[in-house]
């Protein structure tokens, strides 16, 4: 138990930035460039950690709380979620709800920290982020409703248990729809193309990146590290649905989990390379569309 | 229960949503073409390879998947029109309505007095949902091309219903329906051309004005 928990934490904390590196490398390969080394995110984090901090005089403690919560929330959320076949150490009935709303808590603090700077530009980004988040939330919850219908229990361990392999045979269509919907949620939540561009800092259509403009040095590093952790935790949900294998061997399971995460990173990189960013007005339309598709998946599973 | 047929039917429903939410006429036409092509596979998947289903499938594919979309795309190119003039009640409300209709179709289908072998399948709900989505497109869109697409989607819904009865219905009836559809689309093409020449737009609301 303790070994599993420690292994899970190490997997999450040590390998999360590597996913960003893989995504960047995939995008570079599509663009015909060699690209930065896959370990570049680690060097970036190290560089940010050694820098000084500039803090605006208008800010309060909320500005400091934002990045801290952004890192702690994915770690806490990961304790509720089975990572691959490695079962979650913390598990109780209804932890699904806590899992979903932990991310809402993190978003609240990031948005509050952005508003705390008093910059109208960041306020705009916060407004957009919160709007899109509340449109993406029903999709995530409906996805869990489908999983709950197929499982016998309301813990994340039960929802994402080994029964999923059999469930693909009996209600594969609903699961496939939910995987697509969750993929959209993953891209929105992590501010990836086609919903947001993690590389631009000076465009009016950007959403997430604008909120962190005032953060510098270690605080920015914490936010970027938190984003990487979030990507891995949300990615773990999708990966477990697509790849519900349980070998029983601890190290083999960990290897499968990591392999799956990197395949997911390559998929994200591919999506980012082949799609253009959507116009801002189209994003809510797509999100409502995915919610409706998720509703449809629930209807399919309920009959 | 979840065979190839059901996957095809689910894809048909997803294409319904796409046509309701998409604002590009080009991709809308392609989506409806894909829907027609998928529908052509359904008789084969549901009833196996017989002379009847092969003729039906090939006929439906040629008309719904190739010929009619080609005619529409060609008309669109000639009119140099890319984007439709916008629905009457916005894309998101239309999509929500579409989802409500689809759910209602699923609930309604369970109350119908069906034969036991048709009960619980996806045929009836899909056909009803596609039918009503076609109606919705016809009602909420203002430009003639989208209305033709609505008509096509509506007919696709009827086709799904007909596939359920493919063994009972003679081939002539289905061939007649497909021919009617083709003639209908051709006539609409001519009407579209006239509207375009008269008003230099495809917005059918102009037709209700008393004087041009």
- 266-295 in chain A: CB under 8 A from chain B: 284-285, 288-289, 292-293, 295
Distances (CA, A) of B91 to A37, A158, A181: 43, 38, 19
**Token pair for residue B44?**
């084969």
Residue A265: what pLDDT?
94
Helix (H, G, I), strand (E, B) or coil at B143: strand
What is the four-CA torsion angle of B145, B146, B152, B153, rounded to 10 degrees?
Answer: 170
Q: Which residue of A has its CA nearest to B104?
A: A299
Tell me the ipTM for this assembly.
Answer: 0.76
Q: Name chain B contacts of A169, Cβ cutoff 8 Å.
A: 2
Length of chain B: 212
Chain B residue nearest residue A299, CA to CA: B103
The residue among A199, A272, A262, A197 whose CA lies nearest residue A235 is A262
Q: Do A284 and B92 touch (CB under 8 A)?
A: yes
What are the phi and psi torsion angles at A177 (to 5°)? -60, -45
Ordered alpha helix ranges (H), B48-170:
51-60, 68-79, 91-111, 123-140, 144-164
* Residue at token pair 């306020």: A123
B2 CB-contact burial (10 Å; exposed 0-12 / middle 13-18 / buried 19+): middle
- Does A269 or A207 have the greater pLDDT score? A269
- Considering only CB atoms, B102 lies closest to which of A169, A177, A296, namely A296
Helix (H, G, I), strand (E, B) or coil at A83: strand
Phi, psi of B24 (to 5 degrees): -95, 125
Give SS3 for B203: strand
SS3 A86: strand
CB nearest to A292's CB, from B2, B10, B96: B96
More confident residue, A207 or A174: A174
Is the Cα torsion angle B93, B94, B99, B100 positive or negative in sign? positive
Q: Which of A170, A173, A292 sits opposite B7 (nearest CB)?
A: A173
Structure-token pair, residue B47: 């009833």
- What value does the mean pLDDT take over residues A176-196? 89
Size of interface A-B (CB pairs under 8 A): 44
Helix A120-150 vs helix A95-116: crossing angle, to nearest 10: 180
The answer to whether the CB atoms of B17 and A295 lie below 8 A apart is: no
**Measured between beta carbons, which residues in chain A are less than 8 angstroms from residue B1?**
170
Please judge whether A303 and B99 are an interchain contact, meaning their C-beta atoms are less than 8 angstroms apart. Answer: no
Number of compact structural domains in chain A:
1
Interface residue A296 vs chain B (CB under 8 A):
yes
Q: In whole angstroms, give the CA distance from residue A88 to residue A77.
A: 10
SS3 call for A227: helix
Give chain A positions within 8 Å (CB) of B130: none
Contact A284 B99 (CB under 8 A): no
Cβ pair B17:A289 closer than 8 A? yes
The alpha carbon of residue B99 is apart from the nearest alpha carbon of chain A, in Å, by 6
Asked if residue B123 lies in contact with residue B9, where contact means CB atoms within 8 angstroms, the answer is: yes
Give the N- to C-terminal CA distance of chain A in Å, as an integer: 39
B13, B91, B96: residue with CB nearest A296: B13
pLDDT tens by residue, A102-129: 999 999 999 999 999 888 888 888 998 8
Domains of chain B, by residue range, sit at 4-201
Whether B2 sits inside 8 A of A172 (CB atoms) is yes
CB B47 within 8 A of CB B167: yes
**From B14, B21, B103, residue closest to A295, measured CB to CB:** B103
Span A130-167, pLDDT tens digits: 999 999 999 999 999 999 999 888 888 888 888 888 88
Is B14 close to A293, i.e. CB distance below 8 A?
yes
- For helices B144-164 and B171-199, angle between their N-to-C axes, nearest 10 degrees: 170
A285 contacts on B by Cβ (under 8 Å): 21, 91-92, 95
Nearest-Cα residue of chain A relative to residue B96:
A292
**Which chain B residue has its CA at the smallest distance from A173's CA?**
B7
State the pLDDT at residue A264: 94
What are the residue ranges in chain B where pLDDT is below 50?
1-2
Mark yes or no for CB contact B17/A303 under 8 Å.
no
CA distance A253 to A261: 12
Q: How confident is the model at residue A43 (pLDDT cuts 50, 70, 90)?
A: very high
Bridge partners, residue B31, by sequence: none
Specify the pLDDT at position B1: 40
Q: DSSP H helical segments within chain A, as ranges?
A: 2-30, 40-50, 61-80, 95-116, 120-150, 156-159, 164-189, 208-211, 217-242, 250-274, 282-302
Comparison of pLDDT for B141 and A182, the residue scoring more: A182
**Contact residues on chain B for A172, CB-CB shorter than 8 A:** 2
Quick one: which of B35, B143, B138, B2 has its CA closest to B86? B143
Tell me the chain A residues in contact with residue B98 when contact means C-beta distances shorter than 8 Å.
292
What are the b/e assignments for A208-246, b being 16+ CB within 10 Å? Answer: bbbbbbbbebbbbbbbbbbbbbbbbbbbbbbbbbbbbee
Residue A201 vs residues A108, A111, A206, A222, B179: alpha-carbon distances, Å: 21, 17, 7, 18, 56
Tens of pLDDT, residue by residue over A47-102, are 999 999 998 888 899 999 999 999 999 999 999 999 888 888 888 888 999 999 99
Query: Rounded to a whole number, what is the distance in Å from the CA of A169 to chain B's nearest CA?
Result: 8
Q: Measure the CA–CA gap between B137 and B16, rounded to whole angstroms.
A: 10
Interface of B with A (CB under 8 A): 1-2, 6-7, 10, 13-14, 17, 21, 91-92, 95-96, 98-99, 102-103, 106, 110, 120
- On whether the CB atoms of residues B94 and B136 are closer than 8 A, the answer is yes
Which residue among A173, A284, A292 places its CB closest to the CB of B10? A173
* Residue B186 CB contacts under 8 Å (≥ 6 apart), including other chains: B71
Q: Residue A53: give the domain boundaries.
A: 2-302
């Amino acid at each position: 138990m303790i070994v599993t928990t420690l292994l899970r934490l190490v997997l999450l904390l040590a390998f999360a930035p590597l996913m960003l590196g893989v995504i960047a490398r995939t995008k570079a390969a599509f663009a015909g460039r060699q690209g930065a080394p896959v370990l570049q995110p680690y060097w970036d984090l190290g560089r940010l950690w050694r820098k000084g901090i500039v803090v605006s005089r208008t800010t309060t403690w909320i500005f400091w709380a934002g990045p801290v919560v952004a890192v702690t929330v994915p770690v806490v959320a990961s304790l509720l979620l089975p990572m691959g076949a490695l079962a979650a150490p913390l598990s109780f009935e209804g932890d699904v709800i806590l899992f979903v709303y932990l991310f809402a808590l993190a978003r609240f603090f990031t948005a509050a920290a952005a508003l705390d700077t008093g910059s109208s530009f960041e306020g705009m980004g916060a407004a957009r982020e919160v709007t899109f988040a509340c449109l993406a939330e029903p999709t995530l919850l409906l996805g869990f409703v489908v999983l709950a219908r197929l499982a016998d229990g309301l813990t994340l361990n039960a929802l994402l248990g080994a029964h999923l392999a059999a469930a693909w045979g009996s209600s594969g269509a609903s699961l496939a729809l939910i995987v697509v919907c969750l993929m959209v949620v993953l891209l929105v939540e992590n501010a990836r193309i086609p919903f947001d561009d993690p590389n631009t800092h000076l465009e009016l259509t950007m959403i997430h990146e604008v909120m962190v403009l005032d953060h510098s040095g270690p605080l920015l590093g914490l936010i970027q590290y938190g984003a990487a952790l979030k990507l891995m935790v949300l990615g773990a949900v999708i990966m477990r649905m697509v790849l519900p294998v349980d070998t029983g061997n601890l190290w083999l399971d960990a290897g499968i989990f990591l392999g799956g995460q990197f395949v997911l990173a390559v998929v994200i990189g591919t999506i980012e390379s082949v799609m253009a960013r959507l116009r801002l007005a189209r994003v809510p339309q797509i999100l409502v569309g995915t919610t409706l598709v998720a509703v449809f998946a629930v209807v399919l599973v309920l009959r | 229960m979840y065979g190839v047929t059901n996957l095809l039917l689910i894809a048909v429903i997803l294409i319904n949503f796409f046509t309701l939410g998409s604002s590009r006429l080009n991709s809308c036409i392609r989506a409806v073409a894909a829907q027609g092509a998928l529908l052509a596979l359904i008789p084969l998947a549901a009833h196996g390879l017989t002379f009847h289903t092969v003729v039906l499938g090939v006929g439906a594919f040629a008309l719904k998947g190739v010929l009619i979309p080609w005619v529409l795309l060609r008309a669109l190119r000639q009119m140099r029109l890319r984007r439709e003039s916008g629905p009457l009640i916005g894309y998101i409300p239309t999509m929500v309505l579409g989802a409500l209709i689809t759910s209602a179709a699923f609930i309604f289908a369970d109350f119908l007095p069906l034969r036991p072998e048709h009960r619980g399948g996806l045929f009836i709900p899909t056909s009803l949902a596609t039918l009503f989505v076609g109606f919705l497109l016809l009602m909420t869109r203002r430009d003639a091309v989208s209305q033709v697409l609505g008509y096509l989607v509506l007919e696709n819904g009827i086709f799904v219903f007909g596939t359920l009865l493919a063994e009972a219905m003679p081939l002539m009836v289905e061939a007649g329906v497909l021919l009617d559809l083709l003639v209908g689309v051709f006539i609409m093409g001519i009407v579209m051309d006239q509207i375009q020449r008269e008003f230099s737009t495809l917005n059918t609301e102009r037709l209700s004005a008393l004087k041009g």
